[in-house]
Amino acid sequence: MNKDRIEGNWKQLKGKIKQKWGELTDDEIDQAEGNTQILSGKLQERYGMTRDEADRQIDDLVRHDERREPRV
């Protein structure tokens, strides 16, 4: 997971996070503010995931988003 990439694209990813994990509140997503460790913790709490599973799902979401971006 590329931390800089996530922080830089947080606004775009925020919508995708809401779609994928609809049980997270806006406040919880805002608290994460690009920090994948906080987001991972929220997923563990809300969905009962292990840390590895939460990290994997975040990584998958970011990779999927990167594949959709047009290459310049």
2 versus 14: the higher-pLDDT residue is 14
Domain boundaries, position 40: 3-68
Q: Tell me the one-letter amino acid at 6.
A: I
Domain count of the fold of the chain? 1
What CATH number should be reported for the domain holding residue 63?
1.10.1470.10
Q: Tell me the one-letter amino acid at 24.
A: L
Distances (CA, A) of 29 to 3, 39, 67: 16, 7, 23
Which of the four pLDDT bands, split at 50, 70 and 90, describes residue 69? low
Which of the four pLDDT bands, split at 50, 70 and 90, describes residue 71? very low
Q: What is the pLDDT of residues 11-68, one digit of tens each?
A: 888 999 999 999 999 999 999 988 999 999 999 999 999 999 999 999 999 888 766 6
